[in-house]
Amino acid sequence: MGRREGARRDLAGRTLHRSARGSLLNGYSAFMRPLLPFVVFVCVWWLIGAPSGAGVDPPESGWAGLVERAEAEHGEAGKRAAEFLLAHRPERDAGLDAEMLWSNLDLALKARAEFAWARGVPEELFLNDVLPYAVLDETRENWRPKFYEECRAIVGRCATATEAAQALNREYFKLIKVHYNTGRKSPNQSPSESIAQGRATCTGLSIILVYACRSVGIPARAAGVASWHDKRGNHTWVEVWDGAWHFTGADEYDANGLNRAWFAGDAGRAVPGDPMFAVWASSWKETGRHFPLVWDESSRVVHGVDVTARYLGQDVKDGAGKAVRHLRAWDGEQRVSAQVRVLDTHGALVGQVQTRAGTADLNDMPAVALTPDSRYAIEIEHDGRVYATALPTAAAGEETVDLRLDERWRVLSEEEAVAAVQAAWKQTGEAIAAEKAGREADTFSWNGHTMKVLEKTFGQAPEGERSLWISMHGGGGAPPEVNDQQWRNQIRLYELEEGIYVAPRAPTDTWNLWHQDHIDPLFDQLISTYIATRGVNPDKVYLMGYSAGGDGVYQVAPRMADRFAAAAMMAGHPNESQPLGLRNLPFAIFMGGKDEAYNRNKVAGEWGARLDELQQADPEGYPHRLTIYPDYAHWMQGEDREAIPWMAGHTRTPWPKRVVWRQDDVTHTRFYWLEVSPEQAAAGRQVVAAVDGQNIHIESADVDALRVHLHDELLDLDEPVRVEINGQLVFEGTVRRTREAIERSLADRRDPRAASTAQIDVIVPSP
């Protein structure tokens, strides 16, 4: 509590301030010491015996004689008004100026007599919510003369308190040129402090509107919460009385009337009785509770009334069970007004709002009620530019979403997208180079597994046009030295016209050298490193292997078909692998006709026949060749080198018009332009998808949801796109190119030619 700032007289007539009480006795001369007991009695009475609140005021105090003057000028009503103010004044106000106190009381009573609505106000309300000269703990000042003259002109033609309050909220802030701005010096500014700056926030604005209403006899008080139920901030507004209490936002005029405000839904979720989460209204008289001051949390100087019950249920039904997202848009540090469109996974518009800026309260945010645990796309239009990003929702409830007009979200043209991919890949390539520098030379590591490589370079190629050949050695199920010998032999096995020929050493010595789940991420790391640091063209990466390495080609090629330009299997066995994923990968089988171990020769023929069948059913897919050397057994005497020119004649198509994706026991989350979550990536699941013009047909999908990666090589992203799954339309609309989409794609797949510039998330409908 603040100390009383008034002054009192000692028995000798000298001025004594409360701050000097401790030195009272020391100030007397020796001849007055016999009077000491009497002086002590007076001091004790002064300190603890004076009536609470009113005190005994010095002759020059503004409170001295106020009751008598009020009674003389306004009769019994004036006397009761002065006594009420005096009885409930805050301790800090003991020394207030007489002119301020008198003009406040005098003009309050004049307004009560002048305005019809004021005459009908019960005296109890008049005393508590019209008469007081302050609302909270703001600086005290003689505001009423100015407000009375200015506000009575605004409400002159109003018939009711509601009309008058609406008129004041609509006109008075414009008149004094004060509006919402977080650059104000303090939250609890007095009107003159706000006018001097031309700015205030919700509390300062509310103080002004309460004063304005009180100046023309309308009961008014501040109301607010120290924190919303979801802890996203506090807020103060105004309540006015016209037969009952009604609420409104200060400087937030609503032509539809009172009890309409952006914060109604939040207030409807307040917690009764809670000092932090209840709705409190200010009171001049003591109530046993306090109004929470967020700028001075320990203060109890402002009395409060819990009015939460009147707000409960306000607009709550609209968001019940929903994921309610309150939206703000920012351009740097500046809050901006932007049009925000929310689209569901079907591309349908489910919400459109305009974010607030300027004089609107920081907490004044439009909201969209969305389905929990869903994913939405949002488009933000501001200053002639469009920004696009995703808006996921988690559980039901309310959240504030600050939408930053991030350059990564800006919608790009096709040309801008090409440049953005190049820029993003440059950054990605630098990161890959740094990773390489941190590893032992000629090694790759993943999840505790290390893969060494041997390398030879053949021929010349322009920068960025090198080819990369990954050649897997045989062996397996043998001591390390045996597999090491197979590895060193593999680097000598083939020669190229041009390219970087790499023989990796399998990280293990088990029989299934190249089947295991660490192989794919190691190969992915190898490929991206050579693209980033050795000038390899990502569309000229080839896979081959002999014996156990041939087993690896059977395994790896179908599940990583989207990384290679062609693959050749020499003298291997497929085990459980299936050829369905080879739809867009040229695949060659080379086998000795007498290689009968594990029925390799027979199985090779069966695979060739299976590829024939697949190609007959899909003539534009499954390019392949089967070469059986009838006179050779496991060693084909180098005849299989003819695979090299055949493979070199092919380049990868990173955006094929048709994709067949079947998950092996080693699963992937992305295959060409399709993606699933890790939870959906399960062995045996299959997705078949095709593009026809601007239409994407997903013919079968053993998953619940898909992300579709898009690029202008696949379809025209300047035109609307349709997606059907099992014959049902699941999306129709324009999909935006953004840097965010590009960066997200490269983060998942470090391959510049496969970097998508836009993505769609779709839900697979139930059969």
Is residue 397's pLDDT more than 80? Answer: no
pLDDT for 39 equals 41
For the chain, give the number of residues.
767
**734 Cβ neighbours under 8 A, 6+ residues apart:** 347, 717, 719, 720, 721
Half-sphere exposure of 725 (CA within 13 A, CB side): 21
403 burial type by CB count under 10 A (0-12 exposed, 13-18 middle, 19+ buried): buried
Q: What is the pLDDT of residues 317-352, one digit of tens each?
A: 455 678 888 899 999 989 999 999 999 888 889 999
pLDDT for 519 equals 98
* Helix, strand, coil share of the chain (percent; to 5): 35, 25, 40
pTM reported for the whole predicted model: 0.69
More confident residue, 238 or 317: 238
Q: What is the pLDDT of residues 717-752, one digit of tens each?
A: 999 999 999 899 999 999 999 999 999 999 999 999
| Average confidence (pLDDT) over 305-317 | 77
Q: Quick check: helix, strand or coil at residue 179?
A: strand
**455 Cβ neighbours under 8 A, 6+ residues apart:** 442, 491, 500, 501, 502, 503
Name the amino acid, one letter, at 501.
Answer: Y
Sequence-ordered strand ranges (E) for 548-643: 566-570, 587-592, 624-629
Q: What is the pLDDT of residues 192-234, one digit of tens each?
A: 999 999 999 999 999 999 999 999 999 999 999 999 887 878 9
Name the amino acid, one letter, at 105.
Answer: L
Task: Please give the full DSSP string across 692-738, using - where no structure is assigned.
Answer: ETTEEEEEEESSSEEEEEE-TTTS-TTS-EEEEETTEEEEEE-----
pLDDT band, residue 15 (cuts 50/70/90)? very low
Q: What is the pLDDT of residues 244-298, one digit of tens each?
A: 999 999 999 999 999 988 888 888 889 999 999 999 999 999 999 999 999 999 9
Name the amino acid, one letter, at 344.
Answer: D
Task: Please give the full DSSP string across 390-437, using - where no structure is assigned.
Answer: EEE--SSEEEEEEEE--GGGB---HHHHHHHHHHHHHHHHHHHHHHHH
- Of the candidates 655, 656, 658, 625, the one whose C-alpha atom is nearest the C-alpha of residue 642 is 625
**462 Cβ neighbours under 8 A, 6+ residues apart:** none
Locate 44 and state its tokens: 């004790």
Specify which of 26-30, 358-362, 529-533 reaches the highest per-range mean pLDDT: 529-533
pLDDT band, residue 391 (cuts 50/70/90)? confident
Residues 560-579 as b or e (16 or more Cβ within 10 Å = b): bbbbbbbbbbbbbbbeebbb
Q: What are phi and psi of 504, to 5 degrees?
A: -80, 150
Q: What is the pLDDT of residues 510-556, one digit of tens each?
A: 999 999 999 999 999 999 999 999 999 999 999 999 999 999 999 99
Q: What is the pLDDT of residues 121-174, one digit of tens each?
A: 999 999 999 999 999 999 999 999 999 999 999 999 999 999 999 999 999 999
Q: How far apart are CA 193 and CA 432, in angstroms?
A: 57
Q: How far apart are CA 571 and CA 590, in angstroms?
A: 6
pLDDT for 84 equals 97
CA 236, 242, 244, 246 torsion: positive or negative? Answer: negative
| Average confidence (pLDDT) over 565-570 | 98
- Mean pLDDT of all residues in the chain? 90
Say if CB 191 and CB 142 are below 8 A apart.
Answer: no
Give the CA dihedral 115, 116, 120, 124, nearest 10 degrees.
Answer: 0
More confident residue, 601 or 766: 601
Locate 219 and state its tokens: 């009961």
Is residue 30's pLDDT more than 50? Answer: no
| Average confidence (pLDDT) over 651-678 | 97
CA angle 631, 637, 639 (to 5 degrees): 85
- In whole angstroms, how far apart are CA 250 and each of 43, 419, 464, 702? 47, 49, 63, 56
Beta-carbon count within 10 A of 118 CB? 22
pLDDT band, residue 54 (cuts 50/70/90)? very low
Q: Quick check: helix, strand or coil at residue 239?
A: strand
| Average confidence (pLDDT) over 498-512 | 97
| Average confidence (pLDDT) over 585-607 | 97
pLDDT for 35 equals 44
Q: What is the pLDDT of residues 437-482, one digit of tens each?
A: 999 999 999 999 999 999 999 999 999 999 999 999 999 999 999 9
